[in-house]
Structure 1
Amino acid sequence: MIFFIRLAMLSLFCLSNAAMAAEPGRNDFAYGLELAVDNNGAIYKALLPESVYRGVSRFDLADLRVFNAQGEMVPHAVRRLPVRTPSTAAASWTVPFFPLYRNDAESSEKLALQITTSSTGALVDVRRQDTAPTPEVVNAYLLDCSASSRPVARLLLAWQPAGDSFVTTVRVESSEDLNVWQPLVNKATLAELRSADHQMGQYAIELPGRKIKYLKISWPAGEKQVLLTAVKAVEVAEVQAQPRQWTEIAGSLIPEEPGIFVFDTQGCRPVDQTVLKLPEANTLIEGVLSSRSTEANAWQSRGRGVFYRMEVQEARLESEPLILPVSSDRFWRLQVLPASGNGLGVGQPRLRLGWVPHELVFLARGQGPFLLAYGSAQLPKETPASASVDLFSRLEKEGGIVGHARPAGNQFDLGGAELLTPPAPPLPWEKWLLWSVLVSGVAGVGAMAWQLFRQMNQATPGNDMRK
């Protein structure tokens, strides 16, 4: 009995060691991409292409490896990039502005300019030469941006309430001496729209992002004038924006659930922004966006907002991107709230997903070309996703030669798409062996107890009485 128990325990130990998976090879993954490198660096970096997010089976990208030309796996790490590199935030300042008037008989403005320089910059005072009382309207504004030597990225405008909705277009010109003016923005849209309890608008004018001294904002004859109350200039921030990618997915209406649309993104991109594209013009809705990783999971709310698409004359106004916590979920859902009235109208919405790709970092061990292999539901769940991200960061800081890699060509098959199907659950040999040991132990104890009982009965004095 003791021999049998020891044999069972030895078998269990051997089985657990045999279950340890060997290092996966390139054909243990569904797809591959060849990586082209730019020099003989020791460390290479590459942004993951969208095909990787569609081809992996794990949301943590743990089914991804890098191999050299000899088929050897090389150390790698996958890390999230910050949306913006930490640096100086964009500054803004209030811009002095002066209205330019024009009456019906004038074809151009006649200005007498008096420029006074102070410690805060040049202030411009604009007066008309002809001061005769004539019907006048504001048809332009002169802006003094000389207080800063930094390039200007955009203007933020505030104006007197119009009372009702309006959309207008303006033109922006720049000058260094107030005499010669150059076109800067030929057409920019300003708008303020009201619908029920919601108000939306376009209050910013995007500029090319260069140093500007003076600006003139004007609008064509017949366009609605804007009576400004404040103007701010926003500098070009000293930050390096990471390359953002976008994917647009068509929605599907759930027949049994009115106002519910679902979107299958066919991947696990790290989404942090969404834009809802409405099917019809002049539509405004309020809705909730949710997501989940699989169809078996419950929906998790990601954000709520007002989405609109307005078209007036030649101007088009759409809702801004909705900023969300990063989510790698595959399935998304839009719930149109009942307060939205008639809803979306005719057609299906489309959802644009914005994300910043992960960065792949790997050591150039062995000969190239290097292969990025990904997509496998066959790897053990406890398989580590990658080497330490901190280790690569330390190597970079200590002077490791860093090169850049990029996909060379399209995705190709390695082991094939069948590797994305999870394997059948393994037979619970360990559990069976454990129960066998326990049952055998109980049986052994019972056998020993029975044998001892028999021996005790045979040794009872009453059984050996002599007459």
Structure 2
Amino acid sequence: MNKSSWCYCLLLSALLGAPWALAEQAADYSEQVPLQLSGTGPWYRLEVPMALQLAARHADLRDLRVFNAEGEALAYALTPASALPTEKRQEAALKWFPLLGAADQAAPAIRVQRSTTGTLVEVTPEVQGAAEQVRRGWLLDVSTFDQPLHRLRLDWSSEAEGFQRFSIEASDDLQHWSNWGEGQIARLSFANERIDQREVELPGTKARYLRLLWLAPQQAPALVSAHAVSIERSAAVPPLVWSQALTGQPGKPGEFSWELPLSLPLERIKVALPQANTLAPVSLSARLQGSPQWQPLGRGLLYRLPQDGKDVLHDEIELSGYPIQQLRLQVDPRGGGLGTQQPQLQVAMRATQVVFLARGSAPYQLALGQLAGQSAALPLGTLIPGYEPARLATLGVATVPAELPQRLEHEVAAQVGSDWQRIGLWAVLLAGVALLGGMAFSLLRKPNAAQGD
């Protein structure tokens, strides 16, 4: 083997021996956390506690991994923690009146009698001609239910089985009608089993009267009950995760500051008010990332005061969700301050959820805390083929040991700076590779120089 080949082999060995050519291991991360699984897999979701968020080296959790018992890194995705929208239903029983008319009549003509409030008292058909009168549908009085209409729930006589299709129209004056589309209800029996489909979707707007006209067959069944349903949905907002209490560092009189291990998108802070009869006007400021100056975040009034025999507490201030690492609280002395003890602060941010595919053997562990970490997260739709948001709530659940968050909070409370040992190792490796490369280049030039002589 000539010198040139030997140098190539030496350089290739050095490159293959570098850390990036090796499979990741849990020991490469400063924190390894055991996971406890429950529910049905193989996908599991973990809401990342604030203690783990603070133990990471990057706010976006790019240095997070999940390992199995064989030491293999598992596929995972990061997503905002799910918050299912809340749903509040209001229902009201309705009066109903039959609509009689000819089977081929588009809409039966009726005479109505209403009370002064608009409630229907009597509905009678206007008989036209000698055609046979059949029950074409029903008129529903919704005038006493002043809510948007999202559902209509009907019950009808047991002898009428099969599918029932009808048109839905709405009116406020019984003269002008708006088309709300079609509805379908059904009752099916088989082998002593019965399936009922009794609810019909409505557009979510208000109306005083509803007209239901059966399509096929045109003989409507006898109603037993009719209910209007209004549904109020609240927006789904990811929950907050809170840190443990952090003790502030005193500065000037009435001034306290806190420094987190990394910049986090904080949504809220909570200041402990241990003493009764506390009233404290405060101002909050922060050193935003890359700025040496304190930037004002807002003002607030913190208090713990008696009212009707119990304490009324207001100890939180909302923030904008901008990345913050250093906070400063200034207390107006005219309120009497916060007491003799150093104030304690809790910070909160929107929760992040880790979803992973549990391949291999348990126990599984979550690892984080690597300065040079790069994200390996997949999109959620790639991790779970055919994924739909409603499916997230059905996945198995992963949790961390109950005592873990407190231990991590104490470990990271004073964590500031870099992983100098790892930086030093990388520096030595890169310097070695550069030296080998220089040697190889020098040896490759010598034959050419000799030929020139």
Please give the TM-score of this superposition, normalised by the length of structure 1.
0.50
After TM superposition, the structure 1 = structure 2 runs for residues 272-287 of structure 1, keeping only pairs within 5 Å, are 272-277=267-272, 281=277, 283-287=279-283
Tell me what 1:100 maps to: none
8 Å CA contact 2:321–2:349 kept in 1: the answer is no
Return the offset for 1:75: 0.9
Aligned CA-pair RMSD: 4.8
- The separation in 1 between residues aligned to 2:51 and 2:316, in whole angstroms, is 27
SS at match of 1:406: strand
Contact 1:287–1:335, Cα closer than 8 Å, also in 2: yes
Counterpart Cα distance in 1 of 2:296 and 2:87: 30
Contact 2:280 2:301 in 1 (8 A): yes
Question: What amino acid does structure 2 have at the position aligned with 1:429?
Answer: G
Amino acid paired to 2:434: K
CA deviation map 1:332-360 (0-9, x unaligned): 321428x8757735333332322332111
User: Would you say 1:433 and 2:426 are equivalent positions?
Assistant: no
Q: Which amino acid is 1:351 matched to?
A: L
Answer yes or no: is the 8 Å Cα contact 2:273–2:304 preserved in 1.
no
Cα distance in structure 1, aligned partners of 2:338 and 2:373: 48
Structure 2: which amino acid aligns with 1:60?
D
Name the CA distance, whole Å, in 2 between partners of 1:334 and 1:63: 29
In structure 2, the residue corresponding to 1:52 is in which secondary structure? Answer: helix
Match of 2:243, SS state, is strand
How many pairs does the alignment contain? 301
Q: In structure 2, do the counterparts of structure 1 residues 406 and 421 end up closer, same or farther at CA, with 3 Å as the change threshold?
A: farther
Aligned residue number for residue 377 of structure 2: 386
**Quick check: 1:254–1:261 contact (8 Å CA) kept in 2?**
yes
User: Offset at 1:86?
Assistant: 7.5
From the superposition, tell whether residues 38 and 279 of structure 1 become closer, same or farther in structure 2 (CA, over 3 Å).
closer
- Answer yes or no: is the 8 Å Cα contact 1:305–1:322 preserved in 2: no
Give a deviation string over 1:2-41, Cα, whole Å, max 9, x none: x7566545533442232134222344443222321312x3
Q: Provide closer, same or farther for how the CA distance between residues 334 and 63 of structure 1 changes in structure 2, counting only shifts above 3 A.
A: same
1:400 Cα shift? 8.0
Note if 1:423 corresponds to 2:435: no
Match of 2:39 in 1: 38
Letter in 2 for 1:407: T
* CA deviation after TM superposition for structure 1 residue 74, in Å: 2.1
Q: Give the structure 2 partner of residue 306 of structure 1.
A: 300
Tell me: CA distance 1:273–1:362, structure 2 relative to 1, closer, same or farther (3 Å): same
Please tell me whether the aligned partners of residues 16 and 430 of structure 1 are also in contact (alpha carbons under 8 angstroms).
Answer: yes
Task: In structure 2, list runs of 5 or more residues that go unmatched.
Answer: 89-114, 120-143, 150-230, 413-417
Q: 1:282 to 1:373 in 2, by over 3 A?
A: closer
2:14 is paired with a residue whose SS is helix
Separation in 1, partners of 2:390, 2:345: 43
Q: Relative to 1, partners in 2 of residues 1:282 and 1:393: Cα closer, same or farther, differing over 3 Å?
A: same
Deviations 1:403-457 (A, max 9, x none): 22232645679xxx99977425131112323444566678888x669x75xxxxx
* 1:200-239 → structure 2 map (5 Å cutoff): 237-239=233-235
Corresponding residue for 1:406? 398
Q: Which shows bigger deviation, 262-271 or 402-411?
A: 262-271
Quote the Cα distance in structure 2 between the aligned partners of 1:385 and 1:12.
28
1:53 aligns with 2:53: yes
Distance (whole Å) between structure 2 residues aligned to residue 364 and residue 392 of structure 1: 11
Which position in structure 2 is the counterpart of 1:359?
Answer: 353
1:358 aligned partner, one-letter code: T
Q: Structure 2: how far apart are the matches of 1:268 and 1:370? A: 32
Distance 1:322 1:433, change over 3 A: same
C-alpha distance in 2 between matches for 1:301 and 1:385: 35
C-alpha separation in 1, matches of 2:358 and 2:322: 31
CA drift of 1:266 comes to 6.3
What residue is the counterpart of 1:254 in the other structure? 250
Distance in 2 separating the partners of 1:441 and 1:261: 63
Deviation per residue, 1:356-377 (Å, 9 max, x gap): 321111113234x341222343
* Gap change, CA 1:400 and 1:320, over 3 Å in 2: closer
Using the alignment, how far apart are the partners of 2:424 and 2:381 within structure 1? 35
Of 294, 314, 328 in structure 2, the residue corresponding to residue 334 of structure 1 is: 328
Residue equivalent to 2:10: 11
Structure 1 letter corresponding to 2:78: V
- After TM superposition, the score normalised by the length of structure 2 is 0.51
In 2, the alpha carbon distance for the partners of 1:258 and 1:287 equals 14
Given candidates 308, 319, 332, the residue that maps to 1:323 is: 319
Structure 1 residue runs without a partner (length 5+): 90-114, 120-144, 151-234, 453-467
Q: Do the aligned partners of residues 320 and 63 (structure 1) sit closer, same or farther apart at CA in structure 2, a change above 3 Å counting?
A: closer
Same amino acid, percent of matched pairs = 16
